[in-house]
Amino acid sequence: MLDEYQIFEAKALGADIILLIAAILTPAEVRKLAKCAKDLGLNVLLEVHNREELDRSICDDLDAIGVNNRNLGDFSVSVQHSYDLVKHIPSRFLKISESGISDPKTIKELRTAGFDGFLIGENFMKEIDPGKAMKEFVSRI
């Protein structure tokens, strides 16, 4: 989301939550967009990649903070980003680890580290039958 109008569109289309990406928004924009979403009854997921983005973007109108393990600058991926940031995310937020997760063992370890949820996309989209791959993955957790 880059503009309040997109949030109104999301609400009108039945969305429950919006995504704000700290790497492309200023702290003032995060606060403004998060407040707009909350005023409309939407939840807000803030995505960060590093400590600087986390520290400058936390605000009261967030519900969840996602750690994107993919660097949007060079697209390198390391789940270590989640482990490095989890202890810096205040307990009032849901903690989501995003990207680079391809092994159910990693889910178990991230859950133990403090994460509540996981965003996995590319791992399943590489499969011929993504739905079947997801079911098999979940059965191993």
Contact present, 33 and 25 (Cβ < 8 Å)? yes
Tens digit of each residue's pLDDT (9 = 90 or more) over 118-135: 999 888 888 999 999 999
- Tell me, letter by letter, the H, E, C secondary structure of 39-60: HCCCEEEEEECCHHHHHHHCCC
- The mean per-residue pLDDT over the stretch 49-68 comes to 97
pTM: predicted TM-score of the whole model, two decimal places: 0.91
- Conformation bin of residue 126: beta by default, left when phi > 0, alpha when psi is -120 to 50: alpha
C-alpha distance from residue 103 to each of 5, 78, 134, 136, 138 (Å): 38, 13, 11, 11, 10
Angle between helices 4-12 and 27-39 (to 10 degrees): 30
CA distance 38 to 64: 13
Q: Please report the pLDDT score of residue 134 as a whole number.
A: 92
Tens digit of each residue's pLDDT (9 = 90 or more) over 59-97: 999 999 999 999 888 989 999 999 999 999 999 999 999
CA distance 39 to 133: 38
DSSP state of 88: G
Binned at pLDDT 50, 70 and 90, residue 112 comes out as very high
C-alpha distance from residue 40 to each of 9, 45, 56, 70 (Å): 11, 15, 24, 30
User: Which residue ranges form the domains of the chain, and what is each CATH number?
Assistant: 4-139 (3.20.20.70)
Q: Of 105, 64, 102, give the one whose Cα is nearest residue 86.
A: 64
Q: What is the mean pLDDT of the chain?
A: 96
Nearby residues of 74 by Cβ (< 8 Å), 6 or more positions away: none
Q: Please report the pLDDT score of residue 61 as a whole number.
A: 98
Amino acid residing at 81: H
